[in-house]
Structure 1
Amino acid sequence: MAEDFGTGFAEVLSVMNASTQEQSTRILGRYERTGEIKRYMDLPPDPALVDVRPTVAVTTDGIGWPGAAAG
C-alpha cells in the first residue's frame, strides 16, 4: 500500500472522479496495460455490467481524499 501519492495526487483524483468512463479510458489508455489499469481497460462497455459503487480512498492518517466518497 502506498504511503505517499505526492503533491499532485489530489488534482489527479479530482480529474478522474469528474471524468466519464470514456474519458477515464482515454486517459488510462496512455499507460501500460497491467494490473488495475488492465482490469479497468478490459471491463465491458455496457454500463449495466460496470461496478459503479463508490470507492473509498483514505490517507495513511485515515482522512478521506478530497472528492472521494465517504464510507
Structure 2
Amino acid sequence: MKDYLVTEVAGKEVAGKPNPGAGEAIRLSDLQAEQPLRQGHIVAKPEKPSGSAAAQPSGRRGSSKRK
C-alpha cells in the first residue's frame, strides 16, 4: 500500500473509495492506483527526505586546496 494525493479532477470516488478532497492523501495498492494514476485523479505522494541527508550541507567536502 502506498499513499497518493488526490487531484482536483477526481470525482466523488477514487478507486472505489470516497474522495477525501483535493490535495488530501489516500492509501491504495499498486493495482488500485493504476487507473486513477492514468486518469490524473491521483499523483504519487512525495516522500519525506531522511533527516541525515537533509542535515548535511551541500557542496563538496575536503576537495578545496589551501595554499
- TM more than 0.5: no
TM-score normalised to structure 1 length: 0.22
> Quick one: higher RCO (CA 8 Å, sep 6+), 1 or 2?
2
TM-score normalised to structure 2 length: 0.23
Larger radius of gyration: 2
